[in-house]
Amino acid sequence: MGMAAECPPDCYAPVMRPMNPLTDIVLIASATAVACALPGVFLVLRRVAMISDAITHTVLLGIVLAFFVVQDIRSPILAVAAAGTGVATVALIELLHRTGRIREDAAIGLVFPFLFSIAVMLIAQYAGNVHLDVDAVLLGELAFAPLDRYTLGNIDLGPRALWLMGGILGVSLLLLIMFYKELKLATFDAALAATLGFMPTALHYGLMSVVSLTAVGAFNAVGSVLVVALMVAPPAAAYLLTDRLSRMLALSAAFGMLAAILGCAAAFVLDTSIAGAMAVVTGLIFGMAWIFAPERGLVAQALRHARQRQEFAQAMLLVHVLHHERTPQGAVECDAAHLNEHLCWDASFTAHILRRAEQQGLLQRQNSEITLTESGRRLAEQTLRGER
Amino acid sequence: MFDDLFTDYTLRTVVLGSTLLGIVSGMVGAFAVLRRQSLLGDAMSHAALPGIVLAFIVTGSREPLALMIGAALACWIGALLVMSIVRTTRLKSDSALGLILATFFGAGLVLLTWVQQWPTAAQAGLDRYLFGQTATLLERDVIAMAIIGLPTLLILALFWKECAILAFDPDFASTIGLPVRLLDVLLTSLLVVAIIIGLQTVGVVLMSAMLVAPAAAARQWTDRLGVMVALSGLFGASAGVVGTLLSGAVARLPTGPMIVVCISVLAFASLLLAPRRGLVWAWLRNARPIVMHR
């Protein structure tokens, strides 16, 4: 593709063969996904995930305005201006919020549709001479990204988008390593961070700059709304799986990359939007984590509730027997057949709890009369003393 | 331009449609903003996209009522998922909203791109639901909007007292025995209705502004709920009409963004200039030199 295809055969020798465009697309998608997932972790933890929605929309205005000035869609000034718009959006939202006239969520909902609308109208007005159209804004143009390549003489250096996203990923990795401790503290205990002189506000705006820059880079590849999917869904899934920041970062990056690979594969097979497919896969990954996460997943929660219910019932049973054994009514009260009535349980539940307690060696059954074992009595007494 | 309003049939239809949208979204949005659910509307309107395309795939036609039902179902599922993510995980509502917004919208784009490759022509124009295109609004669309929109206002009037208590003090509402969950469902359903009315006019991407901006503007002018809701509906309707007329007057100006710019300007102006709460008055008060009396 690109350069190499137009070369006469004799100039092929020094040319590195360009890779398959499919490989290029997957590589660009993966770099984009990982670059989005890393700052996304801090957005999710700091509870400002919807700020990413605002930023990804308003960077478009920066791109359009800068384009009118420099008239070159490939100019790096565009990216800088766009990232600046992203940070300005955050500042504007905060300014509105701080006046006390509207709440933060309303401020977000007021600012970004306004700036985005202006951008869309400008694009629509000047659609003829701008290489930006409204579909590309929402969909991205990942499928065409491998066609736009850097070349040095005859040497194909690979797609521009890969260099761009790789560069952004490199910068945010570097910043992450440099400010890891500060970010961690400011995220989990902003007050302590401020006391120790770590300047949480500066860190916040630094993070927002990285988010804006990433949004600008990813914008070309996946479009505005789907950047939000890549920034929020992988960290949200990782958050359900671990309690350590370092692991959450690694897991988010891995989920992002998985979504990129699976999303590209699905889009090739179904011949549909790559960015959309990636977003759907991030959603599915989150769905899996939500349902199956050990400890925090829906299944784990349901199992824990069931177990707690049984343990509580077993404790009630043991206390009941302890209370009545060796008393005149003991023969009646401790009769397995009467327990349903005394504890208001249905028969199968009673049978299940009795079997469970017997298996754990907490009680014995002789001719349907229940007696506690030594450990069962100890457990019942502990329950009564409130030690369990 | 305004003379055409009474003679031009298309223009009349279009203006009627955006007025309806402005009234319903303004009034319903006022409750969403007061209940701190400004961004729920954003997530729900994006979530409508897969519903629209699926409804088209199932019915094979662009009958507005069918697409609206599809959109409404998708909105509802999106809202339910947001609520259950917040309830069952340690994620906060911002992450849940972002997640549902982006993944549903992604699914919508996948379906839309897929449908657009069909050899038939029936699917042409489905993408106008992204940014809205009032020029294509027909009389049957406006009738469909009125059929589902006007009952909303009736319901709001019937449950006015309950909704007011829920908006300002949900704990008190449940203490005095109001069916809070049911009312929550009711208000969310009204939000769904407002969103699907706006699909053709403003589109799914910018619909949230129609819920937030009129309410934010109206809030600056009054401290009374009744006045706020009425003003919010009025602001929404006037922005809808002015935006539609402007976008009709200038070539290649998409309606949705134009309406959003109108209502946003109104909101910013209210924030700055509304009597008593306006920021300009506050700045002037602070800037006035303090005169020392001897």
User: What's the confidence (pLDDT) of residue B229?
Assistant: 95
CA distance A119 to A338: 75
**Does the structure show a pLDDT above 50 at B86?**
yes
The structure tokens 């077993």 sit at A314
For chain A, say whether B89 makes contact (Cβ under 8 Å).
yes
Structure tokens at A19: 């890779």
SS3 B124: coil
Regarding predicted confidence, which is higher, A57 or A256? A256
Q: Which of B103, B260, B266 to mutate to test the interface with A (most CBs of A within 10 A)?
A: B103
Interface test with B, best of A116, A268, A273 (most B CBs within 10 A): A273
Full domain range(s) for residue B218: 4-287
> Chain B window 143-202: which residues touch A at a Cβ cutoff of 8 Å?
none
Least confident of A77-91, B1-15, B146-160: B1-15
Would you call B59 helix, strand, or coil by DSSP? helix
Structure tokens at B142: 């406006």
C-beta atoms of A120 and B254 within 8 A: yes
**Cα(B211)–Cα(A102) distance, rounded to whole angstroms?**
14
- Statement: residue A5 has pLDDT above 60: no
Partner-chain contact A271 B114, CB within 8 Å: yes
Residue B82 resides in a domain: yes
Band (B4; pLDDT cuts 50, 70, 90):
low
**Average pLDDT of the segment spanning A38-45:** 96
Question: How far away is chain B from the Cα of A388, in angstroms, using its nearest Cα?
Answer: 26
Q: Does B75 touch chain A (CB under 8 A)?
A: no
Nearest CA in chain A to B277: A101
Percent of chain A with pLDDT over 70: 90
Confidence class for position A300, pLDDT limits 50, 70, 90 = very high
Say what percent of chain B tops pLDDT 70: 93
Q: Is the pLDDT of residue A3 over 60?
A: no
Q: Do A124 and B252 touch (CB under 8 A)?
A: yes
How crowded is residue B151: how many other Cβ atoms within 10 Å of its Cβ? 12
Contacts of A296 in chain B (CB under 8 A): 89-90
Helices A224-239 & A200-222, crossing angle to 10 degrees? Answer: 120
Instruction: Determine the pLDDT at residue B98.
Output: 95
Helix axes B38-59, B93-115, angle to 10 degrees: 30
Residue A234 and residue A284 in contact, taking contact as beta carbons nearer than 8 Å:
no
Tell me how crowded residue B290 is: count the other CB atoms within 10 A of its CB: 4
CA distance B274 to B280: 9
pLDDT band at A350 (very low <50, low <70, confident <90, very high): confident
Contact criterion met (CB < 8 Å) for A127 and B213: no
**What residue type is assigned to position A222 of the chain?**
V
Nearest-CA residue of chain A relative to B205? A113
Instruction: Name residue, tokens 């939500």.
Output: A290
Determine contact: B271 vs chain A, CB below 8 A.
Answer: yes
What pLDDT does A2 receive?
A: 37
At residue B76, the pLDDT reads: 95
pLDDT in tens, A134-154: 566 666 667 777 777 777 777
The CATH number linked to B184 is 1.10.3470.10
Tell me the chain B residues in contact with residue A103 when contact means C-beta distances shorter than 8 Å: 33, 36, 38
Q: How confident is the model at residue A11 (pLDDT cuts 50, 70, 90)?
A: very low
Instruction: Check CB contact under 8 Å for B106 and A114.
Output: no
Nearest-CA residue of chain A relative to B115?
A: A272
Burial letters A324-337, b for 16+ CB under 10 A, else e? bbeeeebeebbeee
Smallest CA–CA distance, residue A27 to chain B, in Å, is: 20
Give the burial class of B201: count Cβ atoms within 10 A of its Cβ; 0-12 exposed, 13-18 middle, 19 or more buried.
Answer: buried
The total of structural domains in chain B comes to 1
B91 has a chain A CB within 8 A of its CB: yes
Q: What is the pLDDT of residue A324?
A: 84
Best residue in B81, B84, B89 for a mutation probing chain A (most A CBs within 10 Å): B89
Q: Which residues of A touch B279 (CB under 8 A)?
A: 99, 101
Whether B293 is in a domain gets the answer: no
The answer to whether the Cβ–Cβ distance between B106 and A279 falls below 8 Å is: yes
Name the nearest CA neighbour of B106 among A342, A371, A241, A263.
Answer: A263
Which of B80, B85, B91 should one mutate to test binding to chain A, selecting the residue with the greatest count of A CBs within 10 A?
B91
Q: What pLDDT was estimated at residue A133?
A: 59
For residue B269, what pLDDT is reported? 95
Q: What does pLDDT average to over chain A?
A: 85
In chain A, the domains with their CATH numbers are: 2-7+16-296 (1.10.3470.10), 299-384 (1.10.10.10)
Q: Tell me what pLDDT residue B294 has.
A: 54
Q: What is the 3-state secondary structure (H, E, C) of chain A?
A: CHHHHHCCHHHHCCCCCCCCHHHHHHHHHHHHHHHHHHHHHHHHHCCCHHHHHHHHHHHHHHHHHHHHHHCCCCCHHHHHHHHHHHHHHHHHHHHHHHCCCCCHHHHHHHHHHHHHHHHHHHHHHCHHHCCCCHHHHHHCCHHHHHHCEEEECCEEEEEHHHHHHHHHHHHHHHHHHHCHHHHHHHHHCHHHHHHCCCCHHHHHHHHHHHHHHHHHHHHHHHCHHHHHHHHHHHHHHHHCCCCCHHHHHHHHHHHHHHHHHHHHHHHHHHCCCHHHHHHHHHHHHHHHHHHHCCCCCHHHHHHHHHHHHHHHHHHHHHHHHHHHCCCCCHHHHCEHHHHHHHHCCCHHHHHHHHHHHHHCCCEEEECCEEEECHHHHHHHHHHHCCCC
Q: Which residue has the higher pLDDT, A151 or A213?
A: A213
Report the candidate in B75, B74, B101, B97 with the shortest Cα–Cα distance to residue B86: B97
Q: What is the pLDDT of residues B99-120, one digit of tens each?
A: 999 999 999 989 988 888 777 6
Q: CB contact, 8 Å: A93 with chain B?
A: no
Kindly state whether residue B249 falls inside one of the protein's structural domains. Answer: yes
Give the pLDDT mean for A204-223.
Answer: 87
Residue of B82, B85, B95 to mutate for A, most A C-beta atoms under 10 A: B95
Residue A17 has pLDDT above 50, yes or no: no
Distance of alpha carbon A359 from the chain centroid: 43
Nearest to B95 among A49, A225, A296 (CB): A49
- Cβ-defined contacts of A254-257 (< 8 Å, 24+): A255/A37, A255/A282, A255/A285, A256/A30, A256/A33, A256/A34, A256/A36, A256/A37, A256/A230, A256/A282, A257/A30, A257/A33, A257/A34
The sign of the torsion formed by the CA atoms of B15, B20, B21, B23 equals positive
Q: If you average pLDDT over residues B151-164, what whole number do you get?
A: 92
User: Which range (A98-112, A361-375, B232-246) has the least confidence?
Assistant: A361-375
Residues B18 and B259: beta-carbon distance below 8 Å = yes
The answer to whether A108 and A195 have CB atoms below 8 angstroms apart is no
User: What pLDDT score does A128 carry?
Assistant: 55
Long-range contacts made by residues A312-315, C-beta under 8 angstroms, separation at least 24? A313/A343, A313/A345, A313/A349, A313/A353, A314/A353, A314/A356, A314/A357, A314/A362, A315/A379, A315/A380, A315/A383, A315/A388
- Cβ of A138 within 8 Å of Cβ of B205? The answer is yes
Can you tell me the distance from the alpha carbon of B78 to that of B185, in angstroms, rounded to the nearest whole number? Answer: 13
Question: What pLDDT is attached to residue A136?
Answer: 63
Cβ-based burial of B107 (10 A; exposed 0-12, middle 13-18, buried ≥19) = buried
Window from A4-13, A64-73, A164-173, B200-209 with minimum mean pLDDT: A4-13
Residues of A in contact with B117 (CB under 8 A): 271
Cβ-defined contact of A276 to B113 (cutoff 8 Å): yes
Tokens 């659609």 correspond to: A127
For residue B127, which of B204, B64, B225, B240 has the smallest C-alpha distance? B204
Residue with tokens 């199956």: A292
User: Has residue B225 got a pLDDT over 60?
Assistant: yes
pLDDT, average across residues B234-240: 94
Residue A304 is predicted with a pLDDT of 95
Average pLDDT score over residue span A237-263: 96
At A23 the pLDDT is 86
Query: Is A117's CB within 8 Å of B261's CB?
Result: yes
pLDDT-derived band of residue A9, with 50, 70 and 90 as boundaries? very low
> What is the reported pLDDT for A15?
39
Would you state the pLDDT for residue A13? 38
pLDDT at B218: 96
Q: Is the pLDDT of residue A10 over 70?
A: no
Name, in order, each residue with C-beta under 8 angstroms of A284's C-beta and a sequence gap of 6 or more: none
SS3 category, B138: coil
Q: What is the average pLDDT value for chain B, to the nearest integer?
A: 88
Distance CA A310, CA A287 (A): 28
